[in-house]
Chains A and B, each alone.
Chain A
C-alpha cells in the first residue's frame, strides 16, 4: 500500500491530558512505541497488505506467520504485558496508539496484534498471579522464531452482542458449559468469530459454569489450544480484515486446571466489562487509523496522480477533505479521551498500587520459586488483587470509562465508514491501485461498526453511563459480599429489565 508520508504532531501537543494524568516519561515511552509501530507498518505491513488480502480472499485459512515474526521483532506482541513479566507495561492508551499506526497501513494485519492484545487483557486483571505463567512465556516466545499468539473467545453461535452485556447475558442462548471436575473444569461448546482463534496458542475463553445462570457463573479460563478436545471447526471467509482469521472453535470436554481460571469462578461478566472498557478505545483507534489511511492515500493521489489533475482545485473536493480531517481529529480525541480516562483514572490506581509495584521489584527468579508461585496463584492473592481494585477505583468510575470507551468505538466506526466511502467516491472507478486500496479500507471499516459490540449496543452503554448516569456492577464482588443481595442501585440489571419490558424506549 502507499507509504504513509505525513509528518505527525507530538502526542503531548495533541493530548494535553497525557501530561496532566501521567508524566513526561510516559509520553516519551508512548512516542517511542508509536514510532516503532509506524516503522513496522511502513516496512512490513504496507508492502504486504494488498497481497495478503488477495490471498486470504482465495483461501481464508492462509496465514502470514512471517509478518507475526516481524511484528514480534518490533515488540508488537508484548507492549501490553506488564513490565515485571518482561513486557512494555502498556494499557489501553498504548494499544490504541499502536492500533492507529498499524491500521492506517492495514487493519487486517493490525487485527492480528489487536486480537492478541485482547487475549492478554483478561490476564492483566489477574494481577501478579499471571505474570510468571503464560505472560512471561509470551515475552520469551517473542524473541524466538516461533512467537506465540493469543486470542479472546466470548461470542457463541447463538449469542453475539448479548454476551458482551451483563444483563442481556442473563437471557442469552448460551450453549457452552464448563463442568466442575476434580482439579479443574471440563469445557464443552462452541465459540464463533474468534479473531486469531485458529492460530493462537493460548485463548482466554469465557463460559458459564452453570448454563442455567450464565450471568452469575460466567468465568474466564485460560485454554491451551493444544489441549485434547480442542479443535478449529472452520476459518470464516470475511468481507474485510482478512489477514486476521475469524475462527469457529469447538471444545469437547477440554480440561482446564484450577490454576488457569483467570480471576475467580463467576467473575467473568465483570471481567468482560473491564476488558471491553480496555479494548473499545483501541477499536476506536483501529477505526481512526482506517479513516486516516484512506484520507492520506486520497491526498497523495490528488496531489500526485495525473488522473486526478485539477480535482484539488474543486471546492467540493476541498470540503470533503476538510470534513475528513475534522472527523478523524474528533475520532482520535474520543479514543484518547476514553483510553486515558481508563488508564489514568479508572484503573490507573490499581496498576500503580504500591503492593503491585513492590511485587514488580521482586526478581522473577524468586517469584518463580514453587512456594512463591503457589502464594501468588492462591485464592487469597486473587482476592487481594480484587480488593486492591475495589480500593483504587469504583463501579461508577469504571461505568463512566465503559461509556466513554463505547462512545469512542461507535464514533470511530461511523467515521471510518464515512471517510472511506467518501474517499472512494472522489476517486470513482479510476486508478486501479488507489481504488483497490480504498475499496479494501472501506470493506475493512465495516467491521468496526460490528465487533466489540455493535455500535447500537455501544450507544446504549453511552446512554446508561453518561445520559442516565447509572452505575453498572462491573467490578468483581469482594469475597465477603458474594452471597449478599446486590444493592438496588448496584447494577443496571433492573433498568435493563425495564428496557426489555418496553419501558425507557428500549427493546420492546
Chain B
C-alpha cells in the first residue's frame, strides 16, 4: 500500500519538476534586449513618435527582441539601436546598431526612398536587415507590400497599396467597384483584381511599375482571381458563366479555362496546395460553408475540416492551410470568428477572440495576417505561430479583401 503512495508522490514530484523546467526554458527563450534611440532632428512630433513605434513593433514582432526602456543594458545579447530619419531626398534613414554598452559599432546602414510618406518601408527594411545580420530567422515578410480593397460608399470600393502596418496607404485603383486584389507574382510588380465598372465582372492585371492594365477574363455574375500558381502561369478563378459559381483553372499562355469543380451550390476561394497538384476551396456542399480539397485532375472531393458550422475563407502555403471559422450562432449582430491553422496534420487556433476573417499567409509562410472587424472598423492582425508573437494594426477602413 505504502508503495503506491510513494509511487504517486514520486511521479507528482517528477511532473512538477518537469513543468518548472519547461517554464524556465520558455522564459529563457533568449530574447535580446534592445534600446531604441531616436536621434532624428527636425521631424514633426507625430512622425517622430510614429517612427519610434514602427521600430518597436517591427523588433517585437520578430520574436527575437525585447524592447528595454533603460539605456544601460550591457551584456553580450543586448543592443543599442540609434536611428536618424530625415526628409532629405525623399526619406532618408541612418541606422546604427551597437552592443549593449554602446562601445562597439556592429552594424550601420543608410536607406533612402523617393518620397517621404514611404518612410515606413525604410524602417521595415532596416529591422529585417538587423534581424538577418544577427543571424535570426528571416522576417522579410515585413517588407512586403499589402493590397487591400476597401469600401468607400455603397457600390464603391478602391484598391489601396500599403505597408504591413497600414501606416503608408495609397489608392491606386479608384472609381467604381474594384474587388479582390491578388498579387500576380512573387516580386509584387503586378496584381489581378475584379472590376465591376463595365457591368460585366472582369479580371484585369495591373502593373504597378508602368500602370498598364491588361484584360484577363470576364464572366456574367461574378469572377474572382483566388490564387496564382508559384510560377505565375496559372490562375484559380471563381467564375459563373452559366450563373453557377465554380472554380476554374486559367492558363495565361493559352487563355483557356478548365472547370475544376461542378456543384449545384457554391464552390469558391480555390487555393493551390502541394505544389499545385491539389486545391483547397470553400464549398457549401454539406449545407454550410466548409473547407474541402481535391486533386486538380480528379473529380473526387474530400472534406478537410470537421469542426465548425461556417468555415468560409481559407488560404494555403505549401502544405499548410489557414481558415476562418464562425464559433457563435447569432443570426444577427456580431459573431466570434477565429482563425485556425492546419500544419502537419494538426489543427490549432491562432486567434482566440473577436471577429477574425480573411486569413492570409505571408510569402514565406511564417506569419499569418487576418482582418478583425470591430465596431465598423477593420484591424489587421499578425500572428507568428513559431514565436507566439501577435499584433493588431488599425486600418481605418472597411476591408473587402486583402492580399500580401
Genuine A/B complex: no
A residues with CB within 8 A of B: none
